[in-house]
Structures are given as structure tokens and as C-alpha cells.
Structure 1
Amino acid sequence: MELTISKLQMRHHRVMMCVLTAFNVSALAAAINLVLVLDPEDRISVRRGAVLTALGLVYFVSLFELINVAALLTGAGARWRRRHRLSCGDVLDISNKLVSAVQAAFSCVTGAVVCAWSCTRDLMRTSHFMSEAYAWFGAAYFFYDIWSMYMVYVHMTTNSEYFRSKLRRASKPDALSAGDGAPAPRRPSFLAYCRHEPVILMHHLFIGGFGFLVIVHLRGGLGDCVFGFVYLMELSTPFVSLRGVLSRLRLKRSRAYVLNGLAMLLAFLLCRVLALPYACLLYARAAGLSYADALRSLPAGCKLSIGALLLPQLYWFYLMSAGAVKVLRAREPPTSAEPAAGDADKRS
């Protein structure tokens, strides 16, 4: 009977993966087919954009669920989880980061196409449909990600509460008489998650809402060369995601973690710290002004937007650089004049 149930479960999981794969591939193919018929400087209608948003939601949700099913409900996934001692919350967090990396790849492709088209023509007026098309499609990611991060939070919280409750019961003298099971932890509410992660929640709502409106409706007919550079700012995200995945896999001391960290710093410097100043340089050349005069000529709203985008990147780059220095120092063997880190910890 157990063998029959196991076969039925395996068949059910294979069917589930096939269905999720079909939804995922179909959503992406339909979105591509929806925009391939457009000329480069066509605009995206509201109706077409709404369909792109719906397809984006199907794509990102199905990709997240497909990765989870493969990791949680297959034999290979079970072996992988045992090897790295991963909880269900760890798996969902890894899935979330992998989907984030995929979204960043799409964003970078969009940015490269937009920059290659718009920045080499009329910097201020030329637009490419990819800019608006991915604004509609990619907006769905930020709202999906709120749900995805909430699911990660739920499983990470319930896992930790479950093990803490088991430890509390095991420490009592009558633990055996009370039974081996631990009480099921209560599922945290979405409002509890919002209170726990207010910054990332506001970031997603701001980018998915206001950022979308700027690209689609509020740019006042201006070209999208600068928006192409904003899309390219996502180049560092796959490296940030990979760092999180390696951390979940307990590989912080591996060479891959160090190399990925250095690549992340380089990508962050190029695409998040230097990208917007370079876009301003292109504007200065197109306007025939010096760099300082070009910055002074920008409207106040543009200056505030550039500052709001650039200043956090400088702060995050400082934090990432400081963290990289700590990691590299930790990997250096202590000299004879310096005690090992473990000895210092013991004395403190």
C-alpha cells in the first residue's frame, strides 16, 4: 500500500510540475508575442499593458511555485534539502531569490535594448516600446514579491516557533508524559509581516506603483534613455540573490561566496553608483553644456529623483564594501603577533 501511495504521489507531483511549467512558459510566450508586432517607437496601450501585467503575475507566481515543488516534493529535492539541512522556510527563501534573479535578468535585457535604441538617437525624445512594455510586465513582480516574501516569513517564523516549542517541552520533567508532539505554531498575519518589514514593503509599493506611473504616464513625452539605465541598475541583483542562496546553503566560507561578493561589488559600482552620473554626462553632451551646467539646468523634480535614487546606492555600496573587507580579513590566516579570532572571542 505504501508503494502504491508513493507512486501516486510521484505522479501527482509530476503532473503538478508539468502544469506549472505550461503556465510559466505560456505566460512568457504570450507576453513576448504581444509586443513583437510593435514598431520600436510605438506606445503601449492601457489594454495591452493590463494584459502584460496579468501575464507577468502568472509568470512570476508559477515560477516561484515550480521551484518550490521541485525542491520540496521530488526525490532529488529531498536529497538536496537533507544534504544542506534546509527547512521549508529556507527553500522558499531560495526560491524567492531565484525568481528575483530572473526578474533582474529581464530588467537588464530591457535596459540594454532601451539604451542601445534611445541613447544613440535623440536622447531627450526617442523611446522604445520595451521601456513601457516591461514597466507593465515587471510591475506584477513587485506585487507578487510582497506575497512571496510573506510566505517566506510565515514558514521561517513557524519553523522557528515549532522548534522553540519542542525545546521548551523537552526541558520539562513531564515532557514524555505530555507526548512527543509540539503544539502547532500560529500562522502570523499579513499585518504582522507588514510591521516586521515596513521598509521593503514601502520600497516595493513605491517602485511597483509610482515608478510604473513615471515610466508609463508621468514622463511628459520625454525619451527613455535614462529609464534604460534605471533598468540596468538590476544587474547587481543576481549576485545579491546568489549571496543569499549561498548563505542559506551554509557556504559563506567558500571561494564561490567570496568571488560572488567581489562580482556583486563591481556590478553594484557600475550599474547603481556610476550609471546615473553617466546618464547625466550623456545629457550634458547632447545639450552642449558642461557637466555642472547640465545638472543645474535639470528641473527640480529630476534633481530630487536622481538624489533619491543615488544616495541610498552610495550608502549600500559603503555597507557592502565594509562587509567585503571583513570577509576578506576573516579568510586571512592570523600572524604570530595576532591571536586567532577564536582565542580573542574566548578572552572577551
Structure 2
Amino acid sequence: MLAALLCGAVVFPGLFCSFRKILKLRFARWSDADAVCVSERLVSSIHATLATAAGVTVASSCRDVMTDSHWLVTGFVFFGAPYMAYDIFAMYLCHYHTQKVKGRSPADSSHSLQTVRAFLLKDWMLVLHHAALLVIFMPIVLFLRRGLGDFFVGCMFTAEFSTPFLCTGQILIQLGLDNTKLHKINGLIVLLSFFTCRILVFPFMYWRYGLQVGIPLHRVAFHLPLQCNLGNLVVLAPQIYWFYLLLRKANRLYLRQSRQADKDKPRTD
């Protein structure tokens, strides 16, 4: 598995650097912030696509949700672990260059503890999410499960399904295409995919477990150890919060576009 770890450590930073250079060459007028942020989102989309494919493969291959195993679980955890560390740094670079473009830091300013602190305060939930996957989720999957529950790990992988659409929406906004029909359609897909793969996936996993052991869905939580329910709750809670933020953002966009449409209507009086 060391090969998978090294492969991930090379692939994701390598893709980021390659995208950054290509975008700067292809779009000469783009700022460093544009190139860095789009590159980070493209790499995130690639990782999410690979994670979703791995998750679907694992989940669909496990008939017994507790004892069936699949080699992709361990392999992809090792391969994806470097991505979490890389993405924290890539998000920091995006924040750093964006602040320079906005004029909130001098153009010749260097990286500093103050810059890092501002980034951590702004994106603390995402940083905490990535760090938790490295420090908590990875050891549990690799060492503490005793080879059980690959089906559930596969389902967790599929939570990344919404990420490419989230990244696409951010890129469209960055390109000034936030008022287009494409952005509206993508926004709808974001809400549906996020709700399905990051929230509904939890009752789905409980249902599959209950189906196997012969108990109804509403009794599954009482049949599982307390630490399993608490662990799921800890993972589910930020997903619900982020979905709430997505709904608020979608509502603001709808209201803004409605007001703009009203202004553009010809007056008849």
C-alpha cells in the first residue's frame, strides 16, 4: 500500500501544478488567484470522481454489509490520504492569492502566520473536515475496523459525488457566468446530489443493515453500539449545516435574479 500512498502524493500536487501552468498559459489575462482557485477545484473534482467510482464499486460488490471486503477500500484510503493534506495547502494558496487580488494584503506580501491565521479563521470547517479524515477516519478504516464494514466505507466514499458540481458552480461564478442557465441547472444538481449522497446516504446505510439482520429501519439505531451512532452523527451534522448554507445561497441567488428580472421588465403605465 506504500505504492498507493506515494502515487497519491505525486498525482494530486502534480495535477495542481500542471493545471496552474496550463491555465496561466491558456488565459494570459487571468490572475494568479484565478489560476490557483480553478486548479484547486479541478483537482478536487478529479479526486471526488475517483472516490465516487471507488465507493460505488465497493458498495455494489458487498452483499454482506458487515463481513464482505473489497481491496479498493484500503487502496483508495492510502491513495486519497495525501489529497487531504495537499488540498489544505491548495485552499490556503487560493485564499492567499485571492486576498492579494482584492487588495487586502500588499501585492509583494509574503506568507506569514497572520495570513495562515486568516485562512484558518475563514475556512476552519473545511480544514477541520480534512484534518479529521486524516487523523480519525483513516486510522479507523485501516486499523480499528478489524476488516468489517467495507460496504459502509464505500457508501462514505460516494459522498464526494456532489463535489464536482460544487466546484463547477464556483468556477462559473469566477468566470462571471453566475446568471446563466447553466449555473442554475448546476445549482439544482448540487442540491439534489448533496442531499442524496451526503445526507440520505445515512438512512440508506441503516436500512441496508436492518434489511440484512431483519429489523425495521426505525429500530436499527437501537440495535447498533452507541459509538457507531455517535460517529455517524458527528459526520452527518456538518453535512446538514453545509446543506443549509447551500439552500440559503440558492435562495439569495433566486431573490437577486427575481429582483433583476423585475427591473428589466418594460413598464406599461
Fold in common (TM above 0.5): yes
Could you tell me the TM-score, scaled by structure 1's length?
0.70
1:69 alignment partner, one of 3, 17, 21: 21
Deviations 1:190-235 (A, max 9, x none): 5631453233222211112211111111113312111111000000
| Compared CA separation, residues 314 and 202, structure 1 to 2 (3 A) | closer
> Is 2:91 the partner of 1:141?
no
Deviations 1:6-54 (A, max 9, x none): xxxxxxxxxxxxxxxxxxxxxxxxxxxxxxxxxxxxxxxxxxx222111
> What corresponds to 1:344 in structure 2?
none
Which runs of structure 2 are paired with 1:101-140 in the superposition (5 Å)?
A: 101-118=45-62, 121-140=63-82
CA displacement at 1:150 relative to structure 2: 2.3
Letter in structure 2 aligned against 1:59: V
When Rg is computed on C-alpha atoms for both structures, the one with the higher figure is 1
> What corresponds to 1:229 in structure 2?
155
The question of whether the paired residues in 2 share the 8 Å contact of 1:53 and 1:136 is answered with yes
1:305 alignment partner, one of 224, 231, 240: 231
Deviations 1:316-335 (A, max 9, x none): 22221232233233333679
> What corresponds to 1:283 in structure 2?
209
Deviations 1:155-197 (A, max 9, x none): 22333348x76xxxxxxxxxxxxxxxxxx53212256314532
> What corresponds to 2:222 in structure 1?
296
CA displacement at 1:61 relative to structure 2: 0.7
How far apart are the structure 2 equivalents of 1:196 and 1:228? 31
CA displacement at 1:313 relative to structure 2: 1.6
Query: 1 or 2 for the larger relative contact order (CA 8 Å, sep ≥6)?
Result: 2
The question of whether the paired residues in 2 share the 8 Å contact of 1:194 and 1:201 is answered with no
> What corresponds to 1:15 in structure 2?
none
> What corresponds to 1:16 in structure 2?
none
How far apart are the structure 2 equivalents of 1:237 and 1:90? 19
Please state whether the residue corresponding to 1:332 is helix, strand or coil.
Answer: helix
Deviations 1:280-301 (A, max 9, x none): 0000011111222221011111
How far apart are the structure 2 equivalents of 1:243 and 1:157? 20
Please state whether the residue corresponding to 1:259 is helix, strand or coil.
Answer: helix
> Is 2:249 the partner of 1:326?
no
Letter in structure 2 aligned against 1:77: F
> What corresponds to 1:204 in structure 2?
130
> What corresponds to 2:116 in structure 1?
193
Deviations 1:35-77 (A, max 9, x none): xxxxxxxxxxxxxx222111101000110011111111x2x33
The question of whether the paired residues in 2 share the 8 Å contact of 1:104 and 1:234 is answered with yes
Identical amino acids, percent of aligned pairs: 29
Letter in structure 2 aligned against 1:58: V
Give the superposed CA RMSD: 2.1
> What corresponds to 2:40 in structure 1?
96
Task: Count residues with an aligned counterpart.
Answer: 261
- Where structure 2 has 5 or more consecutive residues not aligned to the other structure, the ranges are 265-269
How far apart are the structure 1 equivalents of 2:257 and 2:233? 36
Could you tell me the TM-score, scaled by structure 2's length?
0.90
How far apart are the structure 2 equivalents of 1:194 and 1:305? 29
> What corresponds to 1:55 in structure 2?
7
The question of whether the paired residues in 1 share the 8 Å contact of 2:59 and 2:154 is answered with yes
| Compared CA separation, residues 334 and 138, structure 1 to 2 (3 A) | closer
How far apart are the structure 2 equivalents of 1:334 and 1:50? 55
CA displacement at 1:254 relative to structure 2: 1.2
| Compared CA separation, residues 200 and 334, structure 1 to 2 (3 A) | closer
CA displacement at 1:251 relative to structure 2: 1.2
Please state whether the residue corresponding to 1:185 is helix, strand or coil.
Answer: coil
The question of whether the paired residues in 1 share the 8 Å contact of 2:69 and 2:147 is answered with no
